[in-house]
A and B are shown apart, each in its own frame.
Chain A
Amino acid sequence: MKTPLSSILLVLLSSFIGSFGAVFLKYGAEHPKPGFAGLMTNYRLAFGIALYLLSSVFFVMGVAQGELTILYPMVSLGYIWTLVWSRIFFQERITAFKVAGLGLIVIGVACINLGKA
Chain B
Amino acid sequence: MGIATTTNLEIDDRTAARKSFLLVFLCTLIGALGQMLIKTGASQLGVHVSLPEVFQKPGLIFTYSFGILSNPRLFMGYVLYGINTFLMAAALKGRELSRLFPVIALTYVWVTFLSISLLGEHLNWYRAVGIALIVGGVSVLGMKNKTEVVG
The interface of chain A, by Cβ under 8 A from chain B, is 4, 6-7, 9-10, 13, 22-23, 25-26, 28-30, 32, 39, 45, 48-49, 52, 54, 56-57, 60-61, 63-65, 76, 79, 82-83, 85-87, 90, 92-95, 97-98, 100-105, 107-116
Contacts and interface: CB of A to CB of B under 8 A. Distances in A.
A97 B140 contact: yes
A45 B89 contact: yes
B73 to A, nearest CB: 12
Given A4-B50, A109-B105, A98 B141 contact: yes
B70 interface: no
Interface string B133-151: 1111111111111001000
Contact of B133 (A29, A54, A92, A107): A107
Interface of B: 38, 42, 45-52, 54, 61, 64-65, 68, 74, 78, 81-82, 85-86, 88-90, 92-94, 96-99, 101-102, 104-105, 108-109, 112, 115, 121, 124-145, 148
22 contacts: A6-B52, A23-B97, A25-B92, A60-B42, A60-B45, A79-B104, A82-B101, A92-B96, A97-B141, A97-B143, A97-B144, A103-B137, A104-B137, A105-B138, A105-B141, A108-B108, A108-B133, A109-B130, A110-B130, A113-B130, A116-B121, A116-B127
Given A25-B92, A26-B92, A97-B141, 15 more contacts: A22-B92, A25-B89, A26-B89, A29-B92, A60-B45, A79-B101, A82-B101, A86-B98, A95-B145, A97-B140, A98-B141, A108-B108, A112-B109, A112-B131, A115-B130
Contacts, number: 169
